[in-house]
Structure 1
Amino acid sequence: MTWKPITSPILDTLLDKVQFNEQGLISAIAQDEAGHVLMLAWMNRDALAETLKTGRVCYYSRSRNKLWRKGESSGQEQHLLAASLDCDADCLLLTVQQKGVACHTGRRSCFYQALTPSGITNLTEPDIRPETLYGEKVSS
């Protein structure tokens, strides 16, 4: 499966149908080809447009208040294979080819913490040390 870029005028029509929230954002769930959920992030109109045009997944960083091209600092890129909207058009599901790990903690998925009767339990250990990805200590 390979992403085929979407261009105007179809791109503009699609973006107009998306229900961005009050902050101009939509949640985006990224899963791999096997359907394993890797992460949840946010996109604004520009990030979604770039993703649909290029096939290289781009999010919106709320903490940095700017576009965030997945893997730009870590090399752990995401390439779009498929994109779909939920029934309310206010949540995206992205099927991606993940290069390396998706989580900033060095794990394949951000969803590695199980909530159990005895508390939170880590289901996986990092595949790669965060310091190796970013050159600095990252909180997990």
Structure 2
Amino acid sequence: MKRDYFIALEQKSNNSLLALPEVIEQLAFNEQGLIPVITQDANTQSVLMFAWMNKEALAQTIATQRMTYWSRSRQQLWIKGETSGSWQKLLAMSLDCDGDVILCEVEQQGAACHTGRKSCFYLHVDVDNQHVRITDSNEL
């Protein structure tokens, strides 16, 4: 069971090395063959976007260091910036403790969001006043 693989890693010591292909094979891709990816600005640590990868997108991202996702709407690989010019260069990649989410730290060139905003997370919820405020991602 793939979950058992990641549970066993909890007992490993810091700086233990694991073969990347072996770990990728143990990742928890969903029924559609996808895994969620959180993309974060490496300098500011701001979350820029959330997307999906399949194994091919993950392999291409690792090989090219250009963020490549799976577009569910187009049903094809989506190289971030290929049409918009807003590239994301992979600087670091981490996997969560269950092997079901990928975190990528990137150097963002241009806007991360298709709206032209720096981040896709520009709709800020004010739970006390029960409203949502539209802002640039750097404003809170």
Instruction: Name the TM-score class by shorter chain.
Output: 0.7 to 0.9
Displacement, 1:15?
A: 1.9
1:62 pairs, out of 44, 68, 72, with: 72
User: Quick one: which amino acid aligns to residue 22 of structure 2?
Assistant: T
For residue 111 of structure 1, give the secondary structure of its aligned residue in structure 2: coil
Give the superposition deviation at 1:17: 2.1
Looking at structure 2, the residues matched to 105 and 71 of structure 1 have their Cα atoms a distance apart, in angstroms, of 13
CA offsets 1:11-56 (integer angstroms, 9 cap, x no match): 5323212110111000000001121100000000000000011101
In structure 1, the partner of 2:38 is 29
- Higher gyration radius (CA): 2
In structure 2, distance between residues paired with 1:15 and 1:63: 25
Percent identity, please: 52
TM-score (norm 1): 0.78
Equivalent residue for 1:42, pick from 45, 52, 60: 52
Unpaired segments ≥5 residues, structure 1: 1-9, 126-140
The answer for the alignment partner of 1:96 in structure 2 is 106
The DSSP-based 3-state class of the residue aligned with 1:31 is strand
State the distance in 1 between where 2:52 and 2:83 align.
Answer: 18
4+ aligned runs moved over 3 Å, structure 1: none
Q: Give ranges in structure 2 of 5+ residues lacking alignment.
A: 1-18
Q: How many residues align?
A: 116
CA distance in 1, matches of 2:76, 2:110: 23
Q: Using the alignment, how far apart are the partners of 1:35 and 1:17 within structure 2?
A: 27
The Cα offsets for residues 41-90 of structure 1, whole Å up to 9 and x where unpaired, read as 00000000000111011000000000000011100000000001001100
Between the aligned partners of 2:62 and 2:95, the Cα distance in structure 1 is 13
Secondary structure of 1:108's partner? coil
Give me the whole-angstrom Cα distance separating, in 1, the residues matched to 2:86 and 2:38: 16
Hey, what's the Cα distance between the residues in 1 that align with 2:21 and 2:92? 18
Query: Cα RMSD over matched residues?
Result: 1.4
